[in-house]
Each structure stands twice: as structure tokens, then as C-alpha cells.
Amino acid sequence: MGQLQERYKSYRIPQEFMEKGVYPYFREITGKQGTEVEMGGHKVLMFGSNAYTGLTGDQRIIDKAKAALDKYGSGCAGSRFLNGTLDIHVQLEKEIAEFIGKDDCLCLSTGFSVNQGVLAMVVGKDDYIICDDRDHASIVDGRRLSFAKQLHYKHNDMEDLERVLQKLPHDAVKLIVVDGVFSMEGDLAKLPEIIELKHKYNCSVMVDEAHGVGVFGRQGRGVCDHFGLTDEVDLIMGTFSKSLASIGGFICSDSDTINFLRHTCRTYIFSASNTPAATAAAMEALHIIQQEPERIEKLWTVTRYALKRFREEGFEIGETESPIIPLYVRDAEKTFLVTALAFNNGVFINPVIPPACAPQDTLVRYALMATHTEEQVERSVKILKKIFIEQGIIK
């Protein structure tokens, strides 16, 4: 047995949870994603999806993806830099830039690779990158790839952010990177205050809109638009894998910054370009959310209802302001148990344990789609309340 095999043969943590019957991962879905899915041999209410607009099974999007397959084939067999650029890639970038409100845009194969590649390139060894403690793992990995000096501040604590910035050279390049919507807790970045500090301390700002696009702002343009601060934010990234019913990611900025990234970003240059079907699907989803504002209105109607009901029933849901509702458990083993019991009773939710949160902040993540009904929410609240009471989490 080799060294690596010897090292990892004792890694049995997943198997321990399997033996307890509470292992929550890699459950197989046997059909389209929707508000109810077939999983594990029975139907469950899906409250674990990031498809906020509810478009993943929309026939219009499926038809556009099929048409792209027929016209362009199944893949591009190369990177955008060389042989992998299609006219629909360029068209999507133009439409995303216009939608977000920036000069130009790059589209990459995943949202994760956007943060990895952009953060590795836009700041260098004499620069500083400053992150919120609860920024997404892709931001964490991106900053690790950067040669910039890495700093962080307590979650949404503007006094702590200012304390960090006060110590830095005024003329140095300083990039504050923050999630627009924090993906586990559902709260928003304090963007107006961050922009004030940007001007006070001569910084730049990048906002991750992965959970903001399709949810906040005019026609779903995101948190930056929601606060009226798009022009003040230097870099805006987002994904297609949530509200835009596909896979991939984008970065929007001024034309000079995008020109630089187009010729230097390693995750762009050295990755195969996104598939024709995924590109066409994202573009059609972008058209639909602009043409159907009632879709986002429905998302917010059902979100307000769910927030109200969880608060009424005594759940601890933190500071969420979004369709992401954290139901705090504050015990890792109970978090797995609650997830398993919910699944057995017909509700799919996601467990959140370290490193996705602090050990004392474990939770189950309940997320809404525009296609959920109040009846479905009510059914899930009653099921979850019974489980939480039985486990001594709420009274």
C-alpha cells in the first residue's frame, strides 16, 4: 500500500454517519428539479435548491439548449482563448454586461472558477485583499492563489473592516471582496457602508452576486442594483447555476479590467469553454427573468410567508433577508439527524456544518423558489416544527 493509501484508509467519518443512518449527501434525484422531486424512492418537497427563479425545468430553456446542441454539437473541445469561442458565448457576455450594468463581461465554465481566477490575477504581491469572515469557499480559495497580502474582518462588522483598512497604506491597491448575499445565513452585505469605506480609504470592491442575481434588484440584477451602487462596485461576479438554470459564471467590470483578465486569467485561458447547451440555457433564462417580473415577485411573496411562519413557530433564523432561511440547530450531530428525519418525512433540506460555518452555528438551510406554494411551505413548517420540538431545539 502506498503512502497516500496508508494515510487515507483511516478516513471513516462519512461511514460513521452512514452507519447511524443520517448521512445526508449524494442523494440521487431521478427527474427534473422542481418544488417536489423523486429521491430515494419517494417524493420530497425540495427546499434545498438554489434555483430561486424556479426555471431549471422550464421547457423554453430546454428547447433552446436542444437547439444549441443541434447547431453547435455537445462541446467546444478547447478554451475560449483558442478554438472554443462561439458566437453565442460572445452574445451572452454582451447581454450579461448590459444586464448587470458594466462595460464588459467574461463568462467562465463555473462560478467557482471565476472567483479563483479573478482573485489570483487582479491583485499582486504588493497589494491587499480583504474578505468577510463568511465569504464563500471560492473566494477563500481565490485569495489563497493570490500573491496579495490577505486580511479579513468579522462578518458584516464595519467597525472591524475600518480597523483593518486604517492600518494599510493609502496608495496601495486594496480590494474588499464580499458576498452580496451570504449563501448559508441569507443576510446581505452592508454594501452602502462598504462603499463609504472604499472612498474613505482608497479601495476597490468586488461583490459576489451568486445568490443575488435573479433575486434582488430591478429584474433580478442583484444586490448592487438593489442598493443603487452598481457604478460604485469595481467587479461584479455571478453564476448561471442558480437563478439562471444552467452552469457557468461571469465577471463584469470596466473594459480595461476585463481586457486584462481576458488575456491573463488562468481559469479562463486554461479551461474548456462552456458547452453550447449550457450557454444557450443561461441566455434564455436571462431573457425570461427580464420578461417575467412577476416570477421574482412570486419568489418574494412566498419568501415573506415562509419567514413569517418560521418566526411565528419559534425557529431561530438569524438575520436573513433573502429566500435563504437558516434554521439554527447549533449541534453538528443533531443537524445531521434533523436533516435525515426531515427527508424521511418528505422534506429535503441541506445540513450546514464546519467548515461552512462555525461549530456553534450549525444549521439546516431552507431555500425557496418562485414556484413554491404557500401550501408547500406550510406543510414543511409543520413537519420541521415537530422534528425540532422532538429534538429539543425549539419549544
Q: What is the rounded CA–CA span in Å between residue 356 and residue 40?
A: 25
Confidence (pLDDT) at 42: 87
Confidence (pLDDT) at 359: 85
CB 318 within 8 A of CB 362: no
Rounded to an integer, the average pLDDT of 389-395 is 95
The tens digit of pLDDT for each residue in 379-389 reads 999 999 999 99
Q: What is the rounded CA–CA span in Å between residue 11 and residue 312?
A: 42
Which range among 5-19, 47-61, 213-227 shows the weakest confidence by mean pLDDT? 5-19
Instruction: Report residue 85's pLDDT band, with 50, 70 and 90 as the boundaries.
Output: very high
Q: HSE (CB half, 13 Å, CA atoms) of 127? A: 19
Confidence (pLDDT) at 41: 83
> What is the grid cell recorded at 306?
415562509
Q: What is the rounded CA–CA span in Å between residue 157 and residue 280?
A: 40
Per-residue pLDDT for 68 more than 90?
A: yes
Per-residue pLDDT for 98 more than 90?
A: yes
Rounded alpha-carbon distances, angstroms, from residue 299 to 101, 107, 154, 334, 390: 23, 26, 30, 30, 31
The tens digit of pLDDT for each residue in 358-380 reads 889 999 999 999 999 999 999 99
Phi, psi of 278 (to 5 degrees): -65, -40
Confidence (pLDDT) at 223: 98
Per-residue pLDDT for 197 more than 80?
A: yes
For residue 201, give the nearest of 153, 249, 240 by alpha carbon.
153
Instruction: Report residue 72's pLDDT band, with 50, 70 and 90 as the boundaries.
Output: very high
Residue 34 CB neighbours (<10 A): 17
Asked if omega into 24 is within 30° of 0 (cis), the reply is no
The tens digit of pLDDT for each residue in 308-338 reads 999 999 999 999 999 999 999 999 999 999 9
